[in-house]
Structure 1
């Protein structure tokens, strides 16, 4: 039975917190050697490199019709690295407030704010580029390439908070591992 003070959002946040803590207990011991700040930074740099490669493939798809085949390989590499980064950093960028302490919530919120700024800026650049090219550039692959540019921009913005937190968070205590 629900109390008058509990609403659907409170119950959902409680559910999210429980689910996050259960998943954290399952993944806490995965990739133990990758949980140091140095290794997390390597993963963050690898994710950025993969996004740059995906952007290059997106630009190449404007001129070369077989470039999207490379996109599949780049996406697989991105997903593997992104999952490793999220696991190694404890998914703090996605954690509900109830699963973090005050300092972690503050760091997460600042990283999310930067991530939103990155998303807005990169998507605006890709959209304006698409608008400018659409006015005088005749190419049947322009819409596809523009969609890929925008997708890379969104992925970069979505990944930004986790990469920032992986970069700035100090090494965990050895007893926490």
Structure 2
């Protein structure tokens, strides 16, 4: 039974490695001007700001400010391309298979993933408690205030935690060596 599981896991890791190498080949020439540390850091700040706007929009909706729901649209429009660009210029190191990384990169990736999990757990608690307590203690509060506001806040916190490893690795990564 163990042999089947190992073979299945090994085949999946091989498939994942092949898929990642094809993706790396396809993305390696994209956005060459954005691969500097300064530009990567600008993208990190942009992604972080977009996630913060999402959370604040949810928080304002919790206070029944319905116009705040409109802030989700520009935040999302800003987040999606900025996160995609950041993933390309940082070479998707946070999700790279271990076989493609050296020991230092694996250690950095694992540390960043650990921090990402901690951020997710820490940031998700307030919106979850909001959803639990508002819905149980104040049942007369509108669905918009509880479900939408809480949902947006939870979404923002999950995005923050999920993006944290990529943000950390992109922020700390040194500039690539110039090609001669």
TM-score, normalised with respect to structure 1 = 0.90
**Runs of at least 5 residues in structure 2 that lack an aligned partner in the other structure:** none
Tell me if structure 2 keeps the 8 A contact 1:54–1:71: yes
Distance 1:23 1:144 in 2: 36
- In the alignment, what sits opposite 2:159? 155
Q: Over residues 2-56 of structure 1, what are the superposed CA-to-partner deviations in whole Å (9 max), with x where a residue is unaligned? A: x989611111111111111111111111111111111111110110000111111
Tell me if structure 2 keeps the 8 A contact 1:50–1:74: yes
Choose between structure 1 and 2: higher helix proportion.
2
User: What aligned pairs does 1:5-16 form with structure 2 within 5 A after superposition?
Assistant: 7-16=7-16
Q: Over residues 45-103 of structure 1, what are the superposed CA-to-partner deviations in whole Å (9 max), with x where a residue is unaligned? A: 11000011111111233313344343233212111111011111000001111121111
**Runs of at least 5 residues in structure 1 that lack an aligned partner in the other structure:** none
Tell me if structure 1 keeps the 8 A contact 2:124–2:158: yes
Tell me if structure 2 keeps the 8 A contact 1:14–1:98: no
Tell me if structure 1 keeps the 8 A contact 2:53–2:71: no
What is the RMSD computed on CA atoms of the aligned residues?
A: 2.0
- In the alignment, what sits opposite 1:175? 179
- In the alignment, what sits opposite 2:27? 27
Distance 1:126 1:5 in 2: 38
Distance 1:121 1:4 in 2: 38
Sort the Cα spacing of 1:128 and 1:144 in 2 relative to 1 into closer, same or farther, 3 A.
Answer: same
User: What aligned pairs does 1:8-157 form with structure 2 within 5 A after superposition?
Assistant: 8-62=8-62, 63-134=64-135, 135-136=137-138, 138-140=140-142, 141=144, 142-157=146-161
Aligned length: 174
TM-score, normalised with respect to structure 2 = 0.88
Please, which moves more after superposition, 39-48 or 126-135?
A: 126-135
